[in-house]
Amino acid sequence: MSLRIGDTAPNFTAETTEGTIDFHQWIGDHWAVLYSHPADFTPVCTTELGRTANLKPEFDKRNTKVIAVSVDSVADHRRWIDDINDTQQTTVNFPIIGDQDRKVAELYEMIHPKASDTVPVRSVFFIDPNKKIRAMITYPPATGRNFQEILRVIDALQLTDNHKVATPVDWKDGDDCVILPSISDEQAKAQFPKGWKTLRAYLRLTPQPNK
């Protein structure tokens, strides 16, 4: 059965470049981003892993751990990291899972036969501290991911959890938010002291509550 938003993220034990992990224990009380790569020593993946390392302070601010997976060995990953650090002018500072048996790739349905029978597509799973899958994004192997969008999704998910708002089209941190339709105007007065603009009864815009 396909994984869906709201499902518990499947747990696994795996070897990584930072040692053996139990995935759920590794997440702990953090958010997590699990994302796949088609193969080691490939150009797009090299740029993505370098970007991840450079963005570690941004992920840390969001209480988020990042972990990558590729269907190659940990030994290959370690050799590849030297190239990533050199070409992307960074230091890889997060684990990469060795998945030669494709256990993780198959558990998370990362291999799409119409794209490739042997290597994963570029899957991204956003997982909350309760180990629930909160969002998923899938890219084809030739398309590099937009990591600003990955950060934006984390911001939106955490904002909704903490402040009972939704995020409208093209929202980014600091923009106005949408008050959930399930919240009455009376309830909104207490929850949103900055007020709101009513465009329709179901469409009320309010300044971002935590700004």
Instruction: Specify the CATH architecture of the domain 164-206.
Output: 2-Layer Sandwich (3.30)
What confidence score (pLDDT) does residue 117 get?
Answer: 55
Sheet containing 96-98, strands listed edge to edge, beginning at the edge strand earlier in sequence? 19-22, 13-16, 96-98, 64-70, 31-37, 122-127, 133-139
pLDDT along the chain (211 residues), means of 10: 92 98 98 94 96 98 97 96 97 97 93 67 95 95 94 98 96 96 94 96 96 89
Answer for the pair 48, 144: CB distance below 8 angstroms, yes or no.
yes
Per CATH, 13-144 and 164-206 having the same topology is answered no
Q: Would you list the domain boundaries of the chain? A: 13-144, 164-206
CATH 3.40.640.10 given to domain 13-144:
no
Q: Which residues are marked as active site?
A: 45
pTM value is 0.94
* Pair of tokens at residue 151: 């950060």
What confidence score (pLDDT) does residue 119 get?
Answer: 72
What confidence score (pLDDT) does residue 120 get?
Answer: 78
